[in-house]
Structure 1
Amino acid sequence: MSKTTLNTTMRYSALMLSMCAAFGARAQTAPSTTADNATPAALERPVTSLVVERTDLDASGAVAPATFGGSEYNRDFLRGFKNDSALRNGHRDYGYLGTECFCSMESIEVLKGPASALYGNGKPGGDLNSVAKMPGLTDYRNITLFTSSPGLTRARLDVADVVGDVSYRVNAQAYTGATFADHNGRDSAFVVPVIEWRVTPDLKLTLLYNGGYVDMTWNPQVLANQALLSLPAQRFLGEPGNTTRIVDSTTRTELDYKLPNGDHLRQAFMVQNESYRDAGLTYDTYNHALADLVDQAGNVQRVSQRDRAHQAIFVSQSELIGRGKLADIPVEYLLGLEVGRFDYRYKLEVGAGSAINIYRPVYGAAMASSLDTYADQKYGTDNVVLYSQNRFQLSPAMRLLLGVRAEHYRDYLQELGEARTAQSDSLLSPRVGLTYQLHPRWIAALSWTNSSRPQIGAKSASGKLFRPEAGTQTEGSLQYTSADEALKATTSVFSITRKNVLTQDLASPSFQIDSGRRHSRGIEEDLSYSFTPALRLDASAAYTDAYVSQDTVLPVGALLAGVPKWFTSLYLGYDVTPAWSLGAGYVFESRRTATLPDNGVALPAMSSVDLTVTYKTKKWSIDATLVNSGNQRGFTSDGYVVTPINPREFQLTGRYKF
């Protein structure tokens, strides 16, 4: 996935979150483009939200999380911490997302403040919620064809209609071809049907299914080795026979019943099964330190490796959403019960492999015939949760948000040939937010968010599982909306602490203990300005100071890997005529530490510009996009794996309504 493409061509809107999105439930109904009027009604949006709007969110068409680490839509990090989980239409996950087809997404919300912790993802600084394309359109049929200069082609179909009390929408996609990396290709197909049945005027049933597969070349990830970072982004150091296959099946069901008093009862289920496997030659990080991977002759050491994984997720959410009064104070409330189960099976096998020269690669090496098992484990969790989030209208100018999540969970971990280890615990995560209208054009907000997250899949030297990671965030924000609503600007200041972070056990260096702490603080600015009805600028900038505040090995004050201190994103759109429009996107990330602990390798500052032109009629449209128009070199990092940004690439997309 091209992180640069996502960052530079998306449009940002700084919104104060609506009640539905702020509560994290029924997020599919949350507005994607609603403007905030600077009136007391705007106080219904007490938490900052950032909504990503883009015609094509990703040229590859689907996001497959690398080694099941989580799906990263637009940034590797949110406010200084790894973005390793997300929400889908308000459903939580366990940090392991199945492959999501972007053909089915309407928008992506970046939740901040109390809303981000409602479903317990353990990220008080923010969370991502993908909003699906829902039925409701009448006699709608749309086909999209895409091609890129490396040779990737894609076809999408979007069909919707309303038949009596039933409405449906089907998105389907297939793509094939080459990526920008040498000897790398992808094949995939997905289908995402959605059905809404208005059983009675007060009862609605929604069914959604996401199913498909991805077959692609398994490309060894770039690591923080100076020789590897000096190579062109296209350089491939695996073997053309390296393979990855992902198969996903996810079903979501929701019943919504409107009570006579206007409240809503919501019952939702999610069932997911996904399998993943890869095989091929990759870097030998098992026997070599990062600095020693490449010898003086330019040969990188490799091993034969095979990974296999399967995950199964079940989540049930029962919610009551409504309005009422408490001691004559108007209150909007959400009460919920969540029951979930997550099971994960992972097996890693490693064997001998031949080196390859990084400057003059010669392919043809085969995998070893015999592989040794390095890991074979099962782990997961069961949980039962009570949660509530309530907003009180204290005065015409003031709103108070109070929420709490009480969770009881049971984790387990079983290594091959060992007895199963289990642990139970209870968590309490409160949060509070306050908004106040200082002036018809100004709204101030304060919030304190607490979150907890079980650490599944790891155990200490004594064989015990780890206590949950805990996080807290304090945030203040100020929003301004001009009288004509042409200018909207939000400034946010935040401070986040994460406790019980895993760090090395000095008594048993091969294991970890949960005594680490990490801290992040910063300031963010989101701005949207319409110079004229045809010319619009969306901009965001952030300063983030993320560092180690306590550890057994790492020095206090060490910067967290991969996190840029300065980040800027701009998008300028101009409608030249009703048919023609132009767009330009710019992204900048400052210099970053590549690994933690710091091995002396740094990722240089990077910037990139995307350019796009669109021609449209009532029936069809054509988009031509030049990704990374200056062909700049750059890298993103998740704190260990380094990903080169797309080199210059031409993309052409055509859409036709029939």
Structure 2
Amino acid sequence: MKNNAIRFAVLSLIACAQTSHAQAQSATATAPAGSANPPSSVLQTITVTEGSDKEQYRQSRSSSATRTDTPLQELPQSVQVVSRQLMDDLHATRLDDVLPYVSGVARQNNFGGLWDNYSVRGFSGNENGGLNILWNGFASNRGYSPPRDVANVERIDFLKGPSAALYGSSEPGGTLNVVTKKPQFKAANALDLSIGSNDFYRSAIDSTGALGNNVAYRLNAAAESKGGSRDNVRSKREFVAPAFTWLLGNHTTLNYEAEFLRQIAPMDRGIVAVNGRLDALPASRFLGEPNDGNLKMDNQNHQLTLEHQISEQWHLRTGVFHKQGTLDGYSTEASSLRADNATLWRQRRYRDFSWHDTSLQAEIGGKFDTGGIGHEILTGVEADRMTLDQRLLRINPSAGAPYAIDVNNPLYGQPQPTPPANTDTAERQTSTALFLQDQISLAQRWRLLAGVRFDSFRSTLDNRRLGTSARQDKSASSPRLGLTYLATPSVSLYASIGKSFRPNSGSDSGGNAFSPETARAAEAGLKYESSDQLAGATLAVFNITKRNVLTVDPVNTSYSIAAGEVRSRGVELDFNGKFARHWRVTGNLAYTDAAVTRDNTLAVGARLINVPRTSGSLLAVYEDVDVRAAPMAWAAAPAMSAHAPAMPEAASCCRLT
């Protein structure tokens, strides 16, 4: 559980809309004794049955990997889905809580909890922004983003390997797509209250229902306050996520979703190692400065999509996404521990960052046959524009002004130095793209996936402090090809190859923009799914090489050049499912050999930072479904989700989890 928090109390209240007495007669509900036709204010009991997608760890289909609804068994890549049920069982509140339950995923430096940062198959992307995170198919973490809250998340799809053929700039190890809960036309409401260790308090609501015959809403909100294992560290966050669905006709749907998140917390970069030992200081020791106050992050996302079913075989989808946010505040951070192993020199910083990111998407897809060969075509265009303004004030310690603290006996409240300007930049990025994909049914048991995307991107980085500017105008093509053999209804084998790219920010000593990183990846594997689709496993092997990684310029060590190369290869096993009536199980094992193969300063063969060679996890949950399924007014059950089992329209109920 996050921060060792013990789930003290969780209360979920579900209210279902009443309908006519005729509908009530056919509903699976029981009325109080002696009441032939109970009024709507009377609490009725219902029978909660098992078997919904919500109660499973195993998901059989996903639209993230291909932008079409495709069985996972037919995909020529490893796709691991973290379901809402797994998030509920983990009592997850952050994306970070679920990372250990997907193979090959490792946490990276998150700058004291400022944002999410992790690697997949050894690759973590930008050191500040992390690798690519999608929000319902739109790139959502350009610029900066506070740690993602999962209050409004229905599932999280981990797409292993390159996804550039559909989503453009990304890391070759994998991409993550966060799929949010959708509005429902049946009324349902849930309240979640949590109390945990380290003064953890959280409340969350989930409400959905109809606003008319053609409009439905959903509202997710959460408020959280918590301390931590470190002294003088306390954080707060507020999260609101409204969503609306309009049925514009029999074949047209308009969806709007938004997220508003505010996080307030001091910078906490942890403790320092003394004589090479991290346990030399108590974990509660705070080495910053309480008088700095908090760093504040405000972030908001808006997404509007229009979906139209042209015919039974063809569909059209368009969408626009906008994100904006700010980060500002002071922090005191460790610089160097002196020779006495007690005096820590510190630096003081002030950050003032802001960003705006807008993306447009339009796609058309359809199915047809040519000479007995089935095709599912998808083609589309995408354009985006991102601005990022960064102003950083920083003062480094010196012999005359060390701004020091004794790590063994810290005394706070000393005079704070005023940091001078260090960074003042304005970055502008624009890009356009065209993608094409064909899922081909070659025969009853063979599936071929072919796709390619063409990106053209331009960036400008203006250094307002130095009066310089770096520009780049590049293009990239990202193909992928995969083949799947459906050996039996339960077993499939696959192989795939693909390319990816990611632009490098900044410039070299001559003011020239860096060439983008490029990568090639190959993957092969075996998938198993039980006949009832409640359990399955994926075994994958992969080999990835990435070039044009930034490394130190050997001529001018104050600058970098795009000349490094890294390689990652390994084996991954993921398994999950529901077994018998009572057990839900998920687990994974991974071997990842991620190392430097060419660099000017790092030794060839040096391992990539914070990437474990071997890793794994196992979670088993036992639930007494017989007790939960018994007719009663209060029954143990998972919290509500967009795919909760349909409840009788004449029933109202309460559920306790």
TM over 0.5: yes
1:446-465 Cα offsets, whole Å, 9 max, x none, are: 01011111112x11001011
Match of 2:33 in 1: none
Following superposition, the deviation at residue 576 of structure 1 comes to 3.2
Instruction: Note closer, same or farther for the CA distance 1:558–1:542 as it changes in structure 2 (3 Å cut).
Output: same
1:80 to 122, 130, 139: 122
Following superposition, the deviation at residue 488 of structure 1 comes to 2.1
Match of 1:194 in 2: 243
Match of 1:523 in 2: 571
1:328-380 Cα offsets, whole Å, 9 max, x none, are: 42111211100001111111112256222222222223421x21112111113
Match of 2:281 in 1: 231
Match of 2:143 in 1: 96
SS at structure 1 position matched to 2:248: strand
Identify the structure with the greater strand proportion.
1
Q: CA RMSD in A?
A: 3.1
Match of 2:375 in 1: 331
1:257-296 equivalent positions in 2, closer than 5 A: 257-284=308-335, 288=336, 293-296=337-340
Instruction: Note closer, same or farther for the CA distance 1:482–1:106 as it changes in structure 2 (3 Å cut).
Output: closer
Cα distance in 2 for residues equivalent to 1:566 and 1:4? 24
The residue identity in structure 2 corresponding to 1:276 is L
Matched, 1:166 2:195: no
Instruction: Note closer, same or farther for the CA distance 1:385–1:69 as it changes in structure 2 (3 Å cut).
Output: farther
The residue identity in structure 2 corresponding to 1:235 is R
Matched, 1:22 2:72: no
SS at structure 2 position matched to 1:420: strand
1:109-508 equivalent positions in 2, closer than 5 A: 109-113=157-161, 115=163, 117-162=165-210, 163-222=212-271, 226-228=276-278, 230-242=280-292, 243-284=294-335, 288=336, 293-351=337-395, 354-368=403-417, 370-416=418-464, 417-456=466-505, 458-483=506-531, 487-508=535-556
Match of 1:587 in 2: none
Following superposition, the deviation at residue 529 of structure 1 comes to 5.4
Cα distance in 1 for residues equivalent to 2:530 and 2:89? 31
Q: Is the 8 A contact 2:439 2:450 kept in 1?
A: yes
Cα distance in 2 for residues equivalent to 1:17 and 1:229? 46
Match of 1:585 in 2: none
Following superposition, the deviation at residue 233 of structure 1 comes to 2.9
Q: Is the 8 A contact 1:69 1:95 kept in 2?
A: no
Following superposition, the deviation at residue 17 of structure 1 comes to 5.3
Following superposition, the deviation at residue 215 of structure 1 comes to 1.0
The residue identity in structure 1 corresponding to 2:186 is T
Larger deviation, residues 505-514 vs 108-117: 108-117
Larger deviation, residues 419-428 vs 468-477: 419-428
The residue identity in structure 1 corresponding to 2:116 is E
The residue identity in structure 1 corresponding to 2:247 is R
Cα distance in 1 for residues equivalent to 2:625 and 2:229? 34
Q: Is the 8 A contact 2:131 2:170 kept in 1?
A: no
The residue identity in structure 1 corresponding to 2:237 is S
Cα distance in 1 for residues equivalent to 2:244 and 2:577? 38
Q: Is the 8 A contact 2:271 2:281 kept in 1?
A: no
Cα distance in 1 for residues equivalent to 2:290 and 2:415? 10
2:88 to 48, 55, 72: 55
Give unpaired runs (5+ residues) of structure 2.
7-53, 98-108, 125-129, 640-653
Cα distance in 2 for residues equivalent to 1:215 and 1:184? 11
Q: What TM-score does the superposition give when structure 1 sets the normalisation length?
A: 0.79
Following superposition, the deviation at residue 321 of structure 1 comes to 2.0
Match of 2:15 in 1: none
The residue identity in structure 1 corresponding to 2:340 is Q
Instruction: Note closer, same or farther for the CA distance 1:327–1:222 as it changes in structure 2 (3 Å cut).
Output: farther
Q: Is the 8 A contact 1:536 1:573 kept in 2?
A: yes
Match of 1:612 in 2: none
Cα distance in 1 for residues equivalent to 2:391 and 2:112? 13
1:616-655 equivalent positions in 2, closer than 5 A: 618=634
Following superposition, the deviation at residue 222 of structure 1 comes to 4.7
Cα distance in 2 for residues equivalent to 1:12 and 1:279? 45
**Percent of residue pairs identical:** 28
Match of 2:597 in 1: 549
Cα distance in 1 for residues equivalent to 2:455 and 2:195? 47
Of structures 1 and 2, the one scoring higher in RCO (CA 8 A, sep 6+) is 2
The residue identity in structure 2 corresponding to 1:477 is G
The residue identity in structure 2 corresponding to 1:239 is E
Cα distance in 1 for residues equivalent to 2:205 and 2:408? 42
SS at structure 1 position matched to 2:64: helix
Q: Is the 8 A contact 2:225 2:236 kept in 1?
A: yes
Q: Is the 8 A contact 2:596 2:602 kept in 1?
A: yes
SS at structure 2 position matched to 1:118: helix
1:489-521 Cα offsets, whole Å, 9 max, x none, are: 221000011111000100010001101100000
Q: Is the 8 A contact 2:60 2:533 kept in 1?
A: no
Match of 1:512 in 2: 560
Following superposition, the deviation at residue 481 of structure 1 comes to 3.1
SS at structure 2 position matched to 1:510: coil
Instruction: Note closer, same or farther for the CA distance 1:239–1:70 as it changes in structure 2 (3 Å cut).
Output: closer
Q: Is the 8 A contact 1:114 1:433 kept in 2?
A: no
Q: Is the 8 A contact 2:57 2:585 kept in 1?
A: no
The residue identity in structure 2 corresponding to 1:373 is A
Q: Is the 8 A contact 1:94 1:121 kept in 2?
A: no
Q: Is the 8 A contact 1:332 1:391 kept in 2?
A: yes
Match of 1:594 in 2: none
Q: What TM-score does the superposition give when structure 2 sets the normalisation length?
A: 0.79
Following superposition, the deviation at residue 467 of structure 1 comes to 0.8
Cα distance in 2 for residues equivalent to 1:484 and 1:212? 40
Q: Is the 8 A contact 1:69 1:84 kept in 2?
A: no
Cα distance in 2 for residues equivalent to 1:343 and 1:96? 8
SS at structure 1 position matched to 2:137: coil
The residue identity in structure 1 corresponding to 2:286 is F
Cα distance in 1 for residues equivalent to 2:656 and 2:190? 4
Cα distance in 2 for residues equivalent to 1:57 and 1:371? 42
1:85-116 Cα offsets, whole Å, 9 max, x none, are: 21111112464353333211112111124546
Instruction: Note closer, same or farther for the CA distance 1:11–1:296 as it changes in structure 2 (3 Å cut).
Output: farther
Cα distance in 1 for residues equivalent to 2:423 and 2:56? 42
Cα distance in 2 for residues equivalent to 1:62 and 1:477? 27
Cα distance in 2 for residues equivalent to 1:377 and 1:547? 33
SS at structure 2 position matched to 1:241: helix
Cα distance in 2 for residues equivalent to 1:507 and 1:559? 25
Instruction: Note closer, same or farther for the CA distance 1:215–1:114 as it changes in structure 2 (3 Å cut).
Output: closer
Following superposition, the deviation at residue 177 of structure 1 comes to 3.4
Q: Is the 8 A contact 2:266 2:331 kept in 1?
A: no
Cα distance in 2 for residues equivalent to 1:420 and 1:403? 36
Q: Is the 8 A contact 2:92 2:150 kept in 1?
A: no
Q: Is the 8 A contact 1:68 1:96 kept in 2?
A: no
Q: Is the 8 A contact 2:159 2:175 kept in 1?
A: yes
Following superposition, the deviation at residue 418 of structure 1 comes to 1.5
Instruction: Note closer, same or farther for the CA distance 1:619–1:343 as it changes in structure 2 (3 Å cut).
Output: farther
1:577-602 Cα offsets, whole Å, 9 max, x none, are: 54579xxxxxxxxxxxxxxxxxxxxx
Following superposition, the deviation at residue 298 of structure 1 comes to 1.5
Following superposition, the deviation at residue 224 of structure 1 comes to 6.8
